Structure 1
Amino acid sequence: MVKIAPSVLAADFSCLYEEIKRVESEADLLHFDIMDGQFVPDITFGPVVIASLRDKFNLPFEGHLMVANPTQWIVPFARAGCNIITIHRESCGDPHQLIALMREKGVKAGVALNPDTSLDSLESILSEIHLVLIMTVNPGFVGQSFIRDVLPKIRNLRQVREEKSLSFEIAVDGGINEETAGEVVEAGASVLVAGTAIFHAPDPQKALLKLKEAGSGSKDSAEKNRS
């Protein structure tokens, strides 16, 4: 099943509760891009924002740490209510320690890769993580164009998962819409992070359902082709 994770970065910050409420019934999880102004230029959500929303929604929260020092933020965001915390491979020297810390705090561990970062950097940790988040835009800004050159990376990651009999989910973040949803699912993704395509649509819930349909149709086709 294809999962859709609305990216709250694209929502109207003046009414976050109402924005999330519009998509809650059809979303599978909520994706929060947490930026510190160092790893990427912008500054977005702090733990207090996550905590203020946590008890209002039953959906899993994913905290995507676009930060220069993830060690500093894992515990605060775990305490705030994130169920999944995704760190960038580019910003952590020893991911094993950070993954262990996440497990200790009761959250699932994810690792994100920028478009130019090789899959080789994940080789030693794939058996330890719940999710790999493949960036199909360069991180830091909402509304960027999808980078199709990343599609082979998604295919290769799926192949590695199959060869090693691993169970991590493959998520894709950046430029996801009805057209690109099919491409990334066919390549191997099962979690689609989408912001602009959902929250900037006239009817966000309808837009979310269309994304899910586009992805599910491609998944069925891809599975038939591989069988």
Structure 2
Amino acid sequence: MSIDKKKVLIAPSILASDFAQLGTEVANVADAGADWIHLDVMDGHFVPNITFGPDAVKAVRGSTTKLFDCHLMISPADPYLEAFAKAGADLITVHAEAGPHLDRSLQAIRALGKKCGVALNPSTPESVLEYVLDKLDLILVMTVNPGFGGQKFIHSQIEKVRRVKAMVGGRPIRIEVDGGIDAETAPLVVRAGADVLVAGSAIFKRPPYEDAIRAIRESLLVRA
């Protein structure tokens, strides 16, 4: 699937959804106006929580044709890239901190025919991206520490988004933010250069989903 640079995209995180109705939740939020579906994969090792694996991704793939934005908070990631690709992930993001050979991981994702991204934890400098920029479709700046939904937005990451934007320059790389994103914080990161907004609690905990997504979009028109 192509990555459109023309607008700010909203990618609801199913981490905040009702797991008992996961396929229905994915379909409903897609119908409500989501641009992408964000899939937070956690292993209880790299982060202190466990969510789901490739079988769950495969199970909900038929619920929508929207781009599946698969965020692997796992270490090591390389042994599982093919499984997530086959399960239906369109874009696979690995953490810069999760393995010793980031360039190799990105090459592996590309070889599977998928878009690739790198995620940065709050304490990780953007300099780790310097020598892999030309292999990237997306950079994910974590605005909370990964592992749990519903955390408070870390304001220091706004400046990191600005620096990442400067590094990207004219390259066709999306800048995504994840953590504490709602109608209050979305304009802050968009002004800094972000163009993909991951929102979990701000959408799934505030139904109807159409209204929650609209509130974020309207906040950008008013404040960004």
Question: TM-score under structure 2 normalisation?
Answer: 0.94
Give the alignment partner of residue 173 of structure 1, picking from 170, 178, 189: 178
- CA distance in 1: counterparts of 2:79 and 2:194, whole angstroms: 30
Instruction: Please tell me whether the aligned partners of residues 145 and 174 of structure 1 are also in contact (alpha carbons under 8 angstroms).
Output: yes
Instruction: Please tell me whether the aligned partners of residues 122 and 144 of structure 2 are also in contact (alpha carbons under 8 angstroms).
Output: yes
Give the alignment partner of residue 121 of structure 2, picking from 114, 117, 125: 114
- CA distance in 1: counterparts of 2:138 and 2:156, whole angstroms: 21
Residue 4 (structure 1) aligns with = 10
Query: Which residue identity lines up with residue 88 of structure 2 in the other structure?
Result: G
Question: By how many angstroms is 1:209 displaced?
Answer: 1.5
- CA distance in 2: counterparts of 1:180 and 1:35, whole angstroms: 24
Instruction: Please tell me whether the aligned partners of residues 3 and 212 of structure 1 are also in contact (alpha carbons under 8 angstroms).
Output: no
Q: Residue 156 in 1 paired to residue 163 in 2?
A: yes
Question: By how many angstroms is 1:93 displaced?
Answer: 1.1
Question: By how many angstroms is 1:17 displaced?
Answer: 1.8
Question: By how many angstroms is 1:21 displaced?
Answer: 2.2
Residue 49 (structure 1) aligns with = 56
Closer, same or farther in 2 for the Cα pair 1:166/1:218, shift >3 Å?
farther
Q: Residue 81 in 1 paired to residue 88 in 2?
A: yes
Residue 222 (structure 1) aligns with = none
Residue 192 (structure 1) aligns with = 197
Give the alignment partner of residue 131 of structure 2, picking from 102, 124, 145: 124
Q: Residue 147 in 1 paired to residue 127 in 2?
A: no
Question: By how many angstroms is 1:16 displaced?
Answer: 1.1
- CA distance in 1: counterparts of 2:207 and 2:85, whole angstroms: 33
Please tell me the root mean square deviation across aligned C-alpha atoms, in Å.
Answer: 1.1
Q: Residue 62 in 1 paired to residue 82 in 2?
A: no
SS at match of 2:156: helix
Structure 2: give runs of 5+ residues left out of the alignment.
1-6
- CA distance in 2: counterparts of 1:83 and 1:110, whole angstroms: 11
- CA distance in 2: counterparts of 1:7 and 1:215, whole angstroms: 19
Residue 207 (structure 1) aligns with = 212
Size of the aligned set, in residue pairs, is: 217
Query: Which residue identity lines up with residue 197 of structure 1 in the other structure?
Result: A
* Over 4 Å off, 4+ runs: 216-219
Question: By how many angstroms is 1:94 displaced?
Answer: 1.2
Question: By how many angstroms is 1:59 displaced?
Answer: 0.4
Instruction: Please tell me whether the aligned partners of residues 23 and 59 of structure 2 are also in contact (alpha carbons under 8 angstroms).
Output: no
- CA distance in 2: counterparts of 1:124 and 1:58, whole angstroms: 33
Question: TM-score under structure 1 normalisation?
Answer: 0.93
- CA distance in 2: counterparts of 1:92 and 1:179, whole angstroms: 34
Question: By how many angstroms is 1:202 displaced?
Answer: 2.8
Relative to its length, the structure with more helix (as a share) is 1
Closer, same or farther in 2 for the Cα pair 1:59/1:128, shift >3 Å?
same
Instruction: Please tell me whether the aligned partners of residues 22 and 205 of structure 1 are also in contact (alpha carbons under 8 angstroms).
Output: no
Residue 23 (structure 1) aligns with = 29
Closer, same or farther in 2 for the Cα pair 1:218/1:160, shift >3 Å?
farther
- CA distance in 1: counterparts of 2:221 and 2:109, whole angstroms: 31
- CA distance in 2: counterparts of 1:143 and 1:87, whole angstroms: 21
- CA distance in 2: counterparts of 1:6 and 1:215, whole angstroms: 16
Query: Which residue identity lines up with residue 119 of structure 2 in the other structure?
Result: A
